[in-house]
Structure 1
Amino acid sequence: MAIGEIGIVVRGQGLYEFTDQVSAWLAGQGVVEGLCTLFIQHTSASLLIQENADPSARADLESWLNRLVPENDSLYTHTLEGPDDMPAHIKAALTATSLSIPVRNGRMMLGTWQGIYLWEHRHQRGKRRVILHV
């Protein structure tokens, strides 16, 4: 059993792939078989396993979610942190804050076109923390 942390720098809204960072961390743990759990310590970003070959799939996801959860909705009362904050919380609630990925022979059993992404829902730049456990 091992616990680690990955910091991911974000430049605003979007999907940030970090599959290679998880793979590198996992390789250093010496685990042959198990379950790798990822957990994001934020309420306005989320985790996602998604296609990593065609960027248009990710662009379409972002466009769709932004249309589903618009900024500046008159129903929002949580507005002190800006017009993107409440929509970011809703987007995080609709997606995932944790992922579980099987590990066999020391490698994650992701499909051919699957990558691990942090989905940043705010416009601001910064660093997000993802906790790893295997």
Structure 2
Amino acid sequence: MLRQHLDRLELTTTGEGFHDLTAQLGASLAATGLRLGVLHLAVLHTSCSLTINENADPRVLQDLTACLRALVPQEGVRPISGEGPLRAWDHDDEGPDDMPAHVRTALTATNLSLSFEGGRLLLGTWQAVYLWEHRNRPHRRQLSAHWIGS
């Protein structure tokens, strides 16, 4: 018989970077009593995202950050060719990192679907689930964890 459980998770980020959610999700799953099913995970904000990535070598996360900073610079955007004038971001209501954070979120993911079996998330040996904060200062972030299974 299928059952559902909806959980709200919260965390405070320390600013730009990756925050490992794997243990918090494991605890949430254990509290549901479900053993087999799927998790639909959503971050409820427009300036951070979710990713499944390397959990063993921190250089992977550093390189991902450098790549996204290069693709979406804080000071504005240039034509794809790299030639031409810099166009500053119009939207900066919450500071100079506001619009770049929105673009970075649009290029990544705000939802993930993950299977679980035996009461554990099915992740590869070197995988972890991360919230990727795109803002420079700390923020309180909420996530929706919708567990469906038996």
The residue matched to 2:137 in structure 1 has which SS? Answer: coil
Q: CA deviation at 1:126?
A: 2.0
Please report the TM-score for the alignment, with normalisation by the length of structure 1.
0.97
User: Once superposed, what is the RMSD of the aligned Cα atoms?
Assistant: 0.8
Q: Is 1:42 the equivalent of 2:55? A: no
Q: State yes or no: 1:107 paired with 2:120.
A: yes
Instruction: Using the TM superposition, give the Cα deviation of residue 112 of structure 1 relative to its aligned residue in structure 2, in angstroms.
Output: 0.5
Shift of 1:70: 0.2
Equivalent-residue separation in structure 2 for 1:84 and 1:24 (angstroms) = 33
Amino acid corresponding to residue 62 of structure 1 in structure 2: T
Give the residue type in structure 1 aligned to 2:115: P
Correspondence for 2:54: 51
Deviation at 1:106, TM superposition (A): 1.2
Q: Which runs of 5+ in 1 are unaligned?
A: none
Does the alignment pair 1:120 with 2:133? yes
One-letter identity of the residue aligned with 1:25: S
Q: Which position in structure 2 is the counterpart of 1:31?
A: 34
- In the alignment, what sits opposite 2:100? 87
CA–CA separation in structure 2 for the residues paired with 1:129 and 1:45: 10
Q: Deviations over 1:28-63 (max 9, x none)?
A: 111111101110000000001000000000000001
Q: TM-score, normalised by structure 2?
A: 0.87
Shift of 1:133: 0.6
Paired residue type of 2:143? V
Deviates further, 68-77 or 20-29: 68-77
Give 2:10's aligned residue.
7
Distance 1:76 1:127 in 2: 24
Whole-angstrom CA distance in 2 between matches of 1:43 and 1:126: 12
Q: Which amino acid is 1:96 matched to?
A: A
Any runs of at least 4 consecutive aligned residues in structure 1 with deviations exceeding 6 A, and if so which? none
Tell me the distance in 1 between the aligned counterparts of 2:14 and 2:120.
29
